[in-house]
Amino acid sequence: MKAEIKFEPIANWGVKNPKPFIIAGPCSAESEEQMVETARGMDLTKVSAFRAGIWKPRTRPNMFEGVGPVGLQWLRTVKQETGLLTATEVANVKHVYEALKAGIDIIWIGARTTTNPFAVQEIADALQGVDITVLIKNPINPDVELWVGAIERIARAGISKIGAIHRGFSRFEKSAYRNPPHWQIPLDLRRMLPTLPIICDPSHIAGNTSLLEDISQRAFDLSYDGLIIETHCNPSVALSDAKQQITPYELSRMLGRLALRSPETSDPGFLQNLEELRGQIDKLDVEIIRLMGTRMRVSEDIGKVKKTQSITIFQAGRWDEIMNKTIEMGAAEGLSPEFINNLFKAIHQESINHQTDIMNKKD
Ligand code: PEP
Ligand code: MN
């Protein structure tokens, strides 16, 4: 067993409003006026840090690639005028040195950089012995180990003020999200590193403004520690990510509507009720697993029969029949077709694996 890493809670990061910790600001720094106007519009009782990308990782060249180091000076102006902490993205050692020289409070490692252990290690080496807050975005691919690996590299450089940013994952299939959240992955991260603060980035998950509030509420309901939200004084003319940015006014309104629920309570009646319901869930899980075992054994028997007749494992007609039937039964139980589809795909795959073993076993 590796020793568990201990992370500094956000309350010890020198943040004015740590619960929840809100970072807001434009996708990209564009001009000093844009930065100051955006920052001045923020509700300083809720927002604690101001973000702006200076070096922008764009998919294709010839797009707006950021204003470069002059933007760091604009971040300093924002800090002088509002007292907000400053945050920017770093992707290489040069960026780290420039950000440290400018006295930036928080640096974040972007999703494309987290995918590359060489790049993360170089950043970690440059941060050795530095007292700064480092946020690590999830890698664009849905790989929790790669995310944990990047966090471990930064922790090993002696940084203790570390947070993770959940910004969603690249997609292949059509989706309502720009980067589907796959909530299970950040929850796995929480299980693996229980003291690590996690911040949600609904802007890059959604890719538009209409889903921001739902995603943010969901993050709070899953006891995330904060949000990073792209905010621009005039989103429609933003030089990057125009579709997903909101004005400071819209941000204040949205933050006012979000409900912050506590993960803990000491109300004995509530706790007893919760324990009772959790007991029911645990019993049902035992039954589900037993039923799955029984189902697989029947499926193995089918494998034996198929083997004696030399017929193939997969029969499309039978699969369609199962899917149609189960989707209909699921609907009657209030279960979505997507859920039934995923569930039965997984069951069917396991069944095929069992049958393949049987059919290829030497007698
Ligand atoms: C950003 O925060 O503007 C950004 C580039 O994000 P990501 O690394 O999540 O794509
Ligand atoms: Mn962006």
Quick one: 87 and 137 in the same domain? Answer: yes
Quick one: 118 and 172 in the same domain? Answer: yes
Is there a domain that residue 76 lies in?
A: yes
pLDDT for 315 equals: 76
Of residues 156, 114, 151, 135, the one with CA closest to residue 49:
135
Q: Of 236, 257, 278, which one is at a domain's C-terminal end?
A: 257
Q: How far apart are CA 201 and CA 229, in angstroms?
A: 6
Is there a domain that residue 263 lies in?
A: no
Cis preceding-peptide flag for 20 (omega within 30 of 0): yes
160 Cβ contact partners less than 8 Å away, ≥ 6 residues apart: 6, 7, 8
Q: Of 257, 276, 306, which one is at a domain's C-terminal end?
A: 257
Measured from the Cα of 56, ligand 1's closest atom is 5
Quick one: 190 and 141 in the same domain? Answer: yes
Ligand nearest to the CA of 110: 1
130 alpha carbon – ligand 2 mean position (Å): 27
Is there a domain that residue 28 lies in?
A: yes
**What type of residue is 243?**
K
Nearest 5 degrees, angle CA 160-CA 165-CA 171? 145
Q: Which of 169, 204, 215 to mutate to test the pocket of ligand 1 (most atoms within 8 A of CB)?
A: 204
Measured from the Cα of 51, ligand 1's closest atom is 2
Q: Of 257, 292, 315, which one is at a domain's C-terminal end?
A: 257
Residue 27 Cβ < 6 Å to ligand 1: yes
Q: Whole-model pTM?
A: 0.79
When divided into structural domains, the chain yields a total of: 2
pLDDT for 363 equals: 66
170 alpha carbon – ligand 2 mean position (Å): 14
**Per-residue model confidence as pLDDT tens digits over 25-53:** 999 999 999 999 999 999 999 999 999 99
Is there a domain that residue 262 lies in?
A: no
Quick one: 184 and 151 in the same domain? Answer: yes
B/e letters for 234-259, b = 16+ CB within 10 Å, e = fewer, are ebeebbbbeebbbbbebbbebbeebe
204 alpha carbon – ligand 1 mean position (Å): 7
137 alpha carbon – ligand 1 mean position (Å): 8
Region 209-229: what's the mean pLDDT?
96
Residue 194 pLDDT class (50, 70, 90 cuts): very high
208 Cβ contact partners less than 8 Å away, ≥ 6 residues apart: 178, 243, 244
pLDDT for 312 equals: 79
Region 333-353: what's the mean pLDDT?
92
Region 180-209: what's the mean pLDDT?
96
pLDDT for 263 equals: 67
The protein residue with its alpha carbon nearest to ligand 1, atom 4, reads: 110
Indicate the DSSP class of residue 12: G
Quick one: 251 and 275 in the same domain? Answer: no
**Per-residue model confidence as pLDDT tens digits over 110-123:** 999 999 999 999 99
241 alpha carbon – ligand 2 mean position (Å): 5
24 alpha carbon – ligand 1 mean position (Å): 13
pLDDT for 3 equals: 66
CATH number reported for the structural domain that contains residue 6 in this entry: 3.20.20.70
Is there a domain that residue 350 lies in?
A: yes
Residue 107 Cβ < 6 Å to ligand 1: no
- Which two tokens mark 340? 């039934």
Of residues 278 and 107, the one with the higher pLDDT is 107
Quick one: 43 and 87 in the same domain? Answer: yes
The residue segments making up the domain with residue 41 are: 2-257
Residue 269 pLDDT class (50, 70, 90 cuts): confident
Give me the residues near ligand 2 (ion), CB cutoff below 5 Å.
27, 241
